[in-house]
Each structure stands twice: as structure tokens, then as C-alpha cells.
């Protein structure tokens, strides 16, 4: 869902039916995959840059949802040229999202000069295009994402984006750093696979 102004966007998502993984499955945090119980506060990440390119409206899109388990309050690594926000709201017993309030706003002239897709392609084992192709094959459509998605994916695999992107937005990875990152990612991927298998979570 996208809208061209913050006010319009907040109106549009007021009372929105929460996204779900299936009719009988719990809503889950997009970062840690923990279930989100109804009648609890959640936060969402919103930006006006859809990396997948499926929405060219330049409007705002709800791109990540966080439960109280993660309690996201701020954007970790704002991207210059993109307006990004963290909003707080309520996930109701009727499984709708409402009562939104902005917690952190990074305007387009703020943040670091970095390219999320370039960073993804440099670090991740599959290119961003391949990632989206796989998601489309599994879910029937590309995945709408913003810059913070890339930050989260890297952090979830044990990589701080500040280790690989300097203040000028340049990717700085030498052979030693590349080896270190791969070891971190392999170790974290193994931990996540074991966690999901033990808890019966979707992989």
C-alpha cells in the first residue's frame, strides 16, 4: 500500500487488516520471526523507495513490521535520497493496525549516501534480482522493500553495515573483511536454521 503524503498514508493504513502468512498463522515480526499477539503495540518501517521497483509511484509504503520482541524505535542506517520513518501503532484483537504515531523520521536530505541494492549484491550470496525472483516464485509477487530491509538482513546475519560502507557511501571490503563477513553469515545462517527447525517456524 502506497500513498504520496505522510498524512494520506497514515489515513490509508488506519484500520488496515494486518498482513499474515496464512489464515491460521500468527502475525510475525519481520526481524526475529516471533509471533505478535493481538492487542499489542507494534512498529513499522515506512519509506518512499520500493527497491523491488514494482511500485513507481514514489509514495510511502509499509515495508517492515516489528513486534514488541524487537521494539524498533529508530532507523538504523538512514539512506540519503529516501524519506524513511518508524511508526508506532496497535495490532488489535480484530487483527487490524491502527492509532499510528511517528517515532523517527529521516527526510530525503538526511542520512548516508549509500546504494542498498549495490550493498546487497556485494555482500549477499545471491544478487538482489535473484532474491526477488525467488520470492516471486514462492509468493507469487516481488517483495516490497526499502533500504532498512537490507540493513536488517545484514544485521540478522551478524554483519553491521557500518563495517562495509564508509561515510561517503562507498563499499569498503578487502579480502580479509570479505572472509570475516562470510564466516559471520555462515555461522548465523546455521544458528537460524537450527532455531527455526527446533521451533517449527517457516524457513
Tens digit of pLDDT for each residue in 17-46?
A: 765 544 456 788 989 888 888 889 999 999
Greater confidence, 202 or 153? Answer: 153
Query: Which range (84-88, 106-110, 141-145, 192-196) has the least confidence?
Result: 192-196
Q: How confident is the model at residue 4 (pLDDT cuts 50, 70, 90)?
A: low
Greater confidence, 112 or 55? Answer: 112
CA dihedral 151, 181, 162, 86 (to 10 degrees): 20
Alpha helices in the chain (DSSP H): 6-13, 116-123, 128-139, 147-156, 175-199
pLDDT at 202: 53
Greater confidence, 58 or 11? Answer: 11
Q: How confident is the model at residue 147 (pLDDT cuts 50, 70, 90)?
A: very high
pLDDT at 163: 86
Instruction: Give pTM, 2 decimals.
Output: 0.82
Find residue 60's DSSP bridge partners.
Answer: 3
User: Best-predicted range by mean pLDDT among 1-15, 95-109, 174-188, 189-203?
Assistant: 95-109
Question: Grid coordinates 553495515 are at which residue?
Answer: 161
DSSP structure class, residue 190: H
Give the whole-angstrom CA distance, residue 3 versus residue 133.
26
- Indicate the domain borders of the chain: 2-199
Mean residue pLDDT across the chain? 83
Amino acid at each position: 500500500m502506497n500513498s504520496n503524503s505522510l498524512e494520506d498514508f497514515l489515513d490509508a493504513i488506519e484500520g488496515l487488516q494486518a498482513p499474515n502468512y496464512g489464515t491460521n498463522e500468527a502475525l510475525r515480526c519481520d526481524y526475529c520471526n516471533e509471533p505478535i499477539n493481538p492487542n499489542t503495540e507494534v512498529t513499522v518501517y515506512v519509506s518512499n523507495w520500493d527497491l523491488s521497483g514494482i511500485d513507481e509511484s514514489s509514495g510511502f509504503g509499509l515495508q517492515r513490521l516489528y513486534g514488541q520482541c524487537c521494539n524498533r524505535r529508530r532507523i538504523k542506517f538512514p539512506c540519503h535520497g529516501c524519506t524513511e520513518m518508524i511508526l508506532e501503532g496497535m495490532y488489535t484483537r480484530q487483527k487490524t493496525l491502527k492509532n499510528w504515531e511517528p517515532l523517527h523520521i529521516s527526510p530525503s536530505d538526511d542520512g548516508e549516501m549509500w546504494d542498498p541494492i549495490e550493498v546487497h549484491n556485494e555482500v549477499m550470496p545471491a544478487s538482489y534480482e535473484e532474491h526477488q525472483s525467488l520470492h516471486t516464485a514462492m509468493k507469487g509477487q516481488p517483495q516490497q522493500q526499502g533500504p532498512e530491509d537490507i540493513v536488517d538482513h545484514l544485521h540478522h546475519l551478524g554483519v553491521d553495515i557500518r563495517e562495509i560502507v564508509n561515510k561517503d557511501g562507498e563499499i569498503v571490503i578487502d579480502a580479509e573483511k570479505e572472509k570475516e563477513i562470510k564466516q559471520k553469515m555462515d555461522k548465523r545462517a546455521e544458528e537460524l536454521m537450527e532455531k527455526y527447525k527446533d521451533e517449527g517456524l517457516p524457513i
